[in-house]
Amino acid sequence: MGEQQHVKFPQEVIAEYAALGVDLPALFSAGHLGTRMGVEIVEASAERVVGTMPVEGNTQPYGLLHGGASAVLAETLGSVGSMLHAGSSKIAVGVDLNCTHHRGARSGLVTGVATPLHRGRSTATYEIAISDEEGHRVCTARLTCLLRDVNASDATTLRTLG
């Protein structure tokens, strides 16, 4: 997927996935879309996921950060948090994403911080605050993921990705 070797994961979580033959930093990269958009995950735990994305290359015709780009960053960060909460026996699948765009960004990096609103057995909901380099909030998003049990084909895919 993406190159995310600098991501900070809790050591016990890395060990849990390593026991299954899965390289956690590779598994929880930004994925192919996130990589094309320049998304980088810099910190990840079930309590907080932080990532950045450049505005350049992710704009709409008026030169502002595209709302869909903010949605990609938000869903990436919330999904990583949901997966880390769920553990290696479950897969997080996004079922609802809501984004409110507060202001435009024309350049630099935006930073998203995902924090949990709800972490249950079957669903997890994260709020993602996306801010520009001056600390102004650009977007507030909420992502809910269904946490479903890993099946045999999922397990094979996870080992292949990791």
Counting Cα atoms < 13 Å in the Cβ hemisphere of 53 gives: 31
| From 75, 127, 133, 134, the catalytic residue | 75
Q: State the Rg of the chain over Cα.
A: 15
3-state secondary structure of 40: strand
Task: Reply yes or no on whether 43 is catalytic.
Answer: no
**Which residue, chain included where needed, has tokens 């996935």?**
17
The tokens for 56 are 């350049």
CB 67 within 8 A of CB 128: no
9-31 CB burial, b ≥16 within 10 A, e <16: beeebeebbeeeebebbbbbbbb
Instruction: Report the catalytic residues.
Output: 75
